[in-house]
Structure 1
Amino acid sequence: MSQTAHIPSHRKPRRSASSRALRAGVTGGILTLTVAGTAVSASAAEPTAETTQELPTLTADLALNTVQSADATQQAAFSYQLQDQQEQAAGKAKSEAKKAKKAKTEAERKAKEAKERAERAAAKRAAAAEKAREQRASRTAERTTLSTTSTTSTSSTSGNSSDASSSDASSTPQTEAPSTSTGGGNAATVVNFVKAQVGKAYVSGAMGPSSYDCSGLTSVAFRQVGVTLPRVSQAQSTFGTQVSLSNLQPGDILYWGSAGSAYHVAVYIGDGQFVGAQNSGTGVVQRSMSYDMPTGAVRVL
């Protein structure tokens, strides 16, 4: 028996070993990977096995197309965004233009209405002025007529009085009615009475002694000389003889409004002055005719 028979061998046993080698290549646009595997057994070397796997790869054209596609996509996104902004700006501009047009139309409408109102007002003023001129002309003509009539009537009355005096010289004297006599004394009495009432109150329908209305004052004043006037202004404006405002005498009755439809009366006291119960705010006052020019006048005394 050999002495070395029991001595273990110092040679390391062969272990299975395998190795793989990776080879890569591009063939016809396809990436080719070749994996070579080698396994060696403990006893003998085994033949090498090769495995080939193909993986897709990007060609230069495909990579370029991909880049171009990304650029195109980004450019399209920019275009859409720009178009959207343009559409929004156009819509806003259209809305602003519509508002401006509406405001312009409204302004034109208001200007037209204002112009029409001004024209109507001017027409009314012109009509009122023309009416006032006609009324003044009518009053002037009426006063001239009344003055002429009054003068003629006075001359006729004087002639008749002279004839009557001559006729009465051989007949029984007639009694004179003092209530209708004409004289400075009666007019002075009326004037002094109305002056004494200045400052008293105005009360509608009142006839003294502490308050009057306009026709109440004239009625009571003429009672002082025995003349009974109608109670209201309308009737007093036609009682007696119509006289011109340019031919007034103290004691004449002034009236405002048309004869027969006067709305106010007062007593002329001379020097362009009158006394009348004006209203509840002023009471009985003495005023200049220029303060409130009357329409006409009648002479009772």
Structure 2
Amino acid sequence: MRESLVPVVLMSHTAHIRSHRKPRRNASTLAMRAGVAGGVLSTLAVAGASGAANAAESTTTQTLDLSALTADLAAQVAQSADATQQAAANYELQAERDAAAAQAAQQAKVDLADAKAKVAAKKKAADEAARKAAAEEAASRSSERTTLSASASTSTSTTVSAPASGSVATVIAFLKAQVGDAYVMGGTGPNSWDCSGLVQAAFKQAGVDLPRVSGDQSVAGTPVSLSNLAVGDILYWGSAGSAYHVGVYIGDGQYLDAANPSKGVVIQDLSGYPASGAVRVL
């Protein structure tokens, strides 16, 4: 059988004495102290939270400021790089323009020099043509004077014989009127000739019908010595009867012929291209 346990309350030996009991704290005091303590703790908690929030905000602000600074710096670097690249492109473009301008100026100088040279060459050619024309005119007048003198004289010259009554003058006049015309193989005029076509047409003006080709014309008249030529004699190159070229002697060591495609109808010196023989038709 279990024994009943009776709680034994131990009391201080002075508990029965009123003056020795600890005074009890009333409820209002405890509540007030609890409230004060709670307020302090709340204040500390708020302060702690506020400090943490401020610290977090400060950290966030610093992070945002650093990010913004980094982005701004990157933008400035990019702008500087773009500006540098654009400046380099501008310099390169200007250099290309300067080079092109220098090349154009050099080419202009070359073109100007060429133009001046061409003008000088044309002037020289014109002067030479005028000199030659004057010489031809002088030769023509000399030939006419010689012809008239020979016609009036009973004696013959050792170099120029008297032509038939005006016929040779007609032939020479026609020939000189064709100077400058083109040479064309087989040409018979009126603006282009070959050598035998020109001679045939010239003598036809004086009423003489000559064969068409050089070989036949070289034996169409009386053979004469090259040292005793007369104005109007037909000169030939090659063998008589098979000559390859003909012309007409116009006096003073000159002859007129349709020379070749590069020269056309011209007056030339016999000394530069001596004939093989001559025949006299008039």
> If the length of structure 1 is used for normalisation, what is the TM-score?
0.40
Structure 1 or 2: more strand by fraction? 1
More helix by share: 2
For CA contacts below 8 A with separation 6 or more, give which structure has more relative contact order.
Answer: 2
- TM-score, normalization by structure 2: 0.42
